[in-house]
Amino acid sequence: MNNEKIDKLLLLNKKNRKVLIDSLRKTGISDKILDIIDKIPREYFISQDLYDEAYIDKPLPIGNRQTISQPYTVCFMTELLEIKENVKVLEIGTGSGYQALILKMLGAEVYTVERIEYLFNKSQTAFKDFNLEIFGFYKDGTTGLEEKAPFDRIIVTAAAPNIPEALIKQLKINGIMVIPVGEKDCQKMLKIKKIDNNNFKTSEHSTFRFVPLIGKYGWSSEN
């Protein structure tokens, strides 16, 4: 990536990052994903006063009442997506940009949507600093990205009250969507495979807690 700041951060907490990676490996996360986790310093996305917590397996604040997700959650959702080389992925909720960078480094073509201008701008800077081509959009993510559809994969990184109809329509046949669905304080992680335009195979995977998905096909507010 040839970025001095990123190179320095990679050396900063190298031992702690290895401890985290070893613990994630024990949960069944693949080495392919963990190798990428080892190349992206989590410190980059958080304030300096939180550096000591960068490799604790928990979410951390990134501003505007949003968080960078728990590392296990990021890895778990990535595993469910079944990323392959050159698949076209839509991410709803760019946030810090951490998840999008992982998807790109796995070989995906990544489109990501963020509704908060501050986070959108920060993520655009991150993509440039990591020297990776990721296509970012500032808009209501619950409506998807119709002009770039259809997508092989869709990942939603905020809690939805139900599965947004617009996103399902933008998913290719045999495509996969991963999305947390439920109440604001607790959600089930769903993996949805689109069999055809009327049939879907849905499986539930553990309970999580995400910030709410705000927008036309999500929650009306964060409260």
Q: What pLDDT digit, counting tens, does each position of 174-192 carry?
A: 999 999 999 988 999 999 9
pLDDT(1) > 70: no
How far, in Å, CA of 126 to CA of 145, rounded? 21
Alpha carbon 83 to chain centroid, angstroms: 13
- Domain range summary for the chain, segments of one domain joined by +: 4-208
Q: Give the contacts of 100 (CB within 8 A, at least 6 positions apart).
A: 91, 94, 110, 112, 123, 127, 134, 136
Give the class (CATH, top level) of 4-208: alpha beta
Mean pLDDT over residues 146-156, rounded? 98
Provide the whole-model pTM.
0.94
Average pLDDT of the chain, as a whole number: 95
How far, in Å, CA of 91 to CA of 99, rounded? 9
Contact present, 120 and 138 (Cβ < 8 Å): yes
Per-residue pLDDT at 2: 61
Residue tagged 């809690």 (tokens)? 159
Please say if 69 is a catalytic residue: yes
pLDDT(121) > 80: yes
Q: Give the contacts of 60 (CB within 8 A, at least 6 positions apart).
A: 42, 46, 50, 53, 54, 67, 68
From the candidates 23, 30, 47, 69, which is the catalytic residue?
Answer: 69
Mean pLDDT over residues 96-101, rounded? 98
How far, in Å, CA of 98 to CA of 104, rounded? 10
